[in-house]
Amino acid sequence: MSSRRRFLQQLTLSAIAVPTLSAYPFAIPIQKTELDTDKPILKVALMGLGGYAERVAEAMQSCSRAKITGLISGTPEKLKTWGEKYQVPEGSRYNYENFDQIINNPEIDAVYIITPNALHHSQTIRVAKAGKHVICEKPMAINAKEGQEMLDACATAGVQLLVGYRMRFEPNTLKAVELREKGQLGKIKFFQGQTGFKIGDPNQWRVNKELAGGGSMMDIGIYSINGARYMVGEDPVWVTAQETKTDFETFKEGVDETIQFQLGFPSGAVASCLSTYNMNHLDRFYLVGENDFVEMQPSTGYGPVKGRTKNGPLNQPHTVHQTVQMDEMAQIILDGKKPILPVDGKVGLQDLKIIDAIYRSCKTGDRQELQLG
């Protein structure tokens, strides 16, 4: 048991920081917002208190429908520091061994899992068995088999499973989707997604297959997969993919450095995408229709996301993504709200099926047919 504790503590200390944080600073200051006490508030425990969890926690100070009421970490010092900062009482602070006890805590409605990819599966199932809703960072799991088991566990427990697809709430992104749905672009023909950055520390968990489940595809390439789906407005029916690797020391067997992949859609539209851990300045979506185009650049960073068509910029207001995400998810869970773009576990599972097929295509060189369901 002590060895497992040390393992999780080591992960928590080194794992959760998002490597591109400095590239996407907050564009507007975050200020404390009063909760809307006329409506139910989603009480959230954060699991994994690293760099991205800190961003989420700060953003949640501006939420009107969600608040931090619990903390889960393998690092006692973090539990103490974060507990004092966010006014979480000691009785709502847990470690990775005892967090099943949240079943007895009425001050926790949901757990936001922000840990390495390989831990999502077991942690989601444990949270579901404790009767709490799950918000899981992307990718939802390291393969579709695990994703399906997570969905099944949440369905059995009668809790919701949502995935941290923050871009599906971003104003310029939703405006681009609206223009496509209204027909301004005409028949969609082509999508291009470019997502990548240089990975940095070669010893981090993101280039450890056992923890990450892969490489750039699991971390940054998934944005192009998910983006292709909501920008084109269809789910792909086939995929082909090619892997390129230049640094065999950092990117060992099973950890992808760069993957190019192509998607085909039922309408005949096609997509060409790039996922990489070896190039900076790649954060662009480009959607082409018969009548117009939408370019998003930056397309997935923390903001401000910018978009334009042939008629000029989209000009939607910038929002702090994690604030909007958590308020929207509170409404999904508590009010039964149907978001414009779904963020449920089924969407996460479909992305995992595509990722599985991409890896198969890289190995075999063959086109992979997709049945996403």
Residue-wise pLDDT tens digits, 42-94? 999 999 999 999 999 999 999 999 999 999 999 999 999 999 999 999 999 99
Q: Which two tokens stand for residue 8?
A: 């999780």
Q: For position 303, what pLDDT does the model report?
A: 85
Q: What is the mean pLDDT of residues 128-134?
A: 99
Model confidence over 216-235: pLDDT tens digits? 999 999 999 999 999 999 99
Burial of 107 (0-12, 13-18, 19+ CB in 10 A): middle
Q: Which residue has the higher pLDDT, 283 or 14?
A: 283
Q: Are 6 and 287 in contact (CB under 8 A)?
A: no
Q: What percent of the chain has pLDDT over 70?
A: 92
Q: For position 258, what pLDDT does the model report?
A: 98
- Name the residue with tokens 């996301």: 305
The model carries a pTM of 0.93
Q: What is the mean pLDDT of residues 308-331?
A: 97
Nearest in space to 144 (alpha carbons), one of 63, 251, 74, 222: 222
Q: For position 352, what pLDDT does the model report?
A: 98
Q: What is the mean pLDDT of residues 303-324?
A: 97
Q: In angstroms, rounded to a whole number, what is the distance separating the alpha carbons of residues 251 and 257?
A: 6
pLDDT band at 33 (very low <50, low <70, confident <90, very high): confident
Q: In angstroms, rounded to a whole number, what is the distance separating the alpha carbons of residues 137 and 129?
A: 19
Residue 29: is its pLDDT beyond 60? no
Angle ∠(292,295,299) on CA atoms, nearest 5: 150
Model confidence over 233-249: pLDDT tens digits? 999 999 999 999 999 99
Q: For position 31, what pLDDT does the model report?
A: 62
**R_g (Cα) of the chain, nearest Å:** 20
The backbone torsions φ and ψ at residue 62, rounded to the nearest 5 degrees and listed phi first, read -100, 5
Residue 150: is its pLDDT beyond 50? yes
Q: In angstroms, rounded to a whole number, what is the distance separating the alpha carbons of residues 66 and 328?
A: 9
Mean pLDDT, all residues of the chain: 93
For residue 143, the tally of other CB atoms under 10 A from its CB is 18
Residue 112: is its pLDDT beyond 80? yes
Model confidence over 330-343: pLDDT tens digits? 999 999 999 999 99
Query: What is the dihedral sign for C-alpha 123, 125, 131, 137?
Result: positive
Residue 15: is its pLDDT beyond 70? no
Q: Are 62 and 32 in contact (CB under 8 A)?
A: yes
Residue ranges and CATH numbers for the domains of the chain are 2-166 (3.40.50.720), 168-317+345-369 (3.30.360.10)
Model confidence over 138-149: pLDDT tens digits? 999 999 999 999
pLDDT band at 13 (very low <50, low <70, confident <90, very high): very low
Catalytic site positions: 138, 223
Which three-class secondary structure string do you get for 245-299?
CCCCCCCCCCCCCEEEEEEECCCCCEEEEEEECCCCCEEEEEEEECCCEEEECCC
Q: For position 34, what pLDDT does the model report?
A: 80
Q: What is the mean pLDDT of residues 281-305?
A: 97
Give, for 112, the enclosing helix (H) or strand (E): strand 110-113
Q: For position 37, what pLDDT does the model report?
A: 81
Q: Which of 3-17, 30-44, 73-87, 138-152 comes out lowest in average pLDDT?
A: 3-17
Residue 97: is its pLDDT beyond 50? yes
